[in-house]
Every structure is written in structure tokens, then in C-alpha cells.
Amino acid sequence: MCGRYTLRTPADAVLDHFQLGAAAPLQLALRFNIAPMQDAPVVRWQRTPVELAESADATLESPESTGQRELAGLRWGLVPFWAADPKGGARMINARSETVASKPAFRAAFKRRRCLVPSDGYIEWETRGKQKLPHYIQMQDERLFAYAGLWESWGKRETGNRLDTFTILTTDANDLTSSVHDRMPVILNEADYDMWLDPDFNVVEPLQELLRPYPGDEMKMRRVSTRVNNVRNDDPECLESPQELF
């Protein structure tokens, strides 16, 4: 699974990587310990209605739309649109890629509301006896990347009671990360961003093909401080190795 992650990359590099332009309204702070039920940035497709010429014989089931990539702050922990209340989001920080197209909580979002979750590393805990030891997993060159995510809206915009939330998809661990956990977040190749974001593309098989383990030989892993265990801690010390703390 993925229960904590980081986004330490400077804002301008994030905007450039995701082709968002310099005018993205969301202010990005450096994050060293993003935790469930906190707000975090995601990249999603923002639809814009197209003005259609009036036609006497035109019959449309839904308006045509165009759009663009949007950087938005969403709460981590998906709340299905049909949920009676938003409390269940804490249990839905991850979605298994193998069943995401069929599970009632995720299938609508998988079809139309996919997103990219910017990150440059994540935390996974190794169970060793009674200890849970945090490890930081990132790319060999420490570059920015994106998890495959889904987003959902709960409540009504008109009443001011709308809540936008997201979840991160998981897959089998690769040969590097399997030593600490049997699952890992789905990391997408940059070339696949457009397909994943496209709300008009909903053919299950090609989308499922994207949800595979990222190659372990392109990643690295190291022990970090147990300071990261506390969700209130969000500073560089969370990622220091144990020997650096003494």
C-alpha cells in the first residue's frame, strides 16, 4: 500500500513537468510527510463547456466539452459520490488496480475521473519483530513522478458542501520494494499521462495495462527516521537516516 509520500520538488519544476503553465492557482509547499486525510495536490482534467450553435433539429444527451490540465488541492482518502457521509474516506486512501474497474466505490471514478498524484518518493514500513521500520523509496535520480490516482466529488457545489477527494492505485511490489511490503503505488510513465487523464477514454484493457509495477532497478530505498510515523511531523528530519540523528 501507500500510506505516506513526499513532494519536495520546487513548484516551478512541478508545473513544468505536468505542463501546467505558470498560472496554476494552487500554491505548492514542500511536503516531507503527506498523510491520509490531508489535502495534497493532484493533476486532473478540468472540463470547459463549449458553446454550441443553436439548431432546430439538434438533440444532445450531454454537452460537448473541451478542457485542460488543472492542479487542485484534494483530500487524500476517496469518498464515493453516493456515500451517505464522508467519514469512510480514511479507509480508501488506496485502491487495488486489479479490481478498480469493478468495485462500486471506484468504478465510476476509474471510468471518468482519473488523476495524477505528483510525488518524488513514498514511505513504506518493514515489520521486523515488534518494530515497524520506515523506508523511503524514490527514483535512482530522485526525480519527480506521478502515481495513478482517482478523484471523486461528494456533496453539492451549490450548497457549499462539496468535498473533492482522491485515492492512489496500488499494484504488486517490484523486486526492490517486495522486501518491505507486497504492494506498491502505481507509478505512471510520463508518456502515459495523457491517456490516463483523458475522461473520454474509458476502454478498460489499455488502462489496466498501465497499472503495472515500476521497475525496481530504476528505484532506490533507504531507512529513515521514525519521526515520519507521526502525521504532525512534516519537515526534512522525517527523511534523515537513523544514523544521521545521533
User: pLDDT in tens for each of the 246 residues of the chain?
Assistant: 789 999 999 999 999 999 997 656 788 999 999 999 999 999 999 876 543 233 233 333 344 447 889 999 999 999 999 888 887 767 899 999 999 999 999 999 999 999 999 999 999 999 988 889 999 999 999 999 999 999 999 986 666 678 999 999 999 999 999 999 999 999 999 999 999 999 999 999 999 999 999 999 999 999 999 999 999 999 999 999 887 543
Instruction: Give the pLDDT of residue 87.
Output: 76
Instruction: Report the C-alpha dihedral over residues 135, 140, 145, 151, rounded to 10 degrees.
Output: -30
- Strand-pairing partners, residue 12, are none
Q: Is 238 a catalytic residue?
A: no
Asked if 119 and 147 touch (Cβ cutoff 8 Å), the reply is yes
Contacts of 130 (CB under 8 A, 6+ apart): none
For 106, list phi and psi in degrees, rounded to 5.
-120, -20
- HSE-up of 150 (CA within 13 Å, CB side)? 29
Instruction: Give the pLDDT of residue 50.
Output: 43
Q: In the block, which residue shows the cell 473533492?
A: 164
The full 3-state SS of 8-73, as one line of letters, equals CCCHHHHHHHCCCCCCCCCCCCCEEEECCCCEEEEEEEEEEECCCCCCCCCCCCCCCEEEEEEEEE
- Strand-pairing partners, residue 148, are 116
Domains of the chain: 4-46+67-245 (3.90.1680.10)
Question: How far from 200 is each of 26, 130, 194, 211, CA to CA, in Å?
Answer: 25, 48, 11, 19
Q: Is 158 a catalytic residue?
A: no
Among 2, 115, 152, 238, the one annotated catalytic = 2
Among 115, 124, 152, 238, the one annotated catalytic = 124
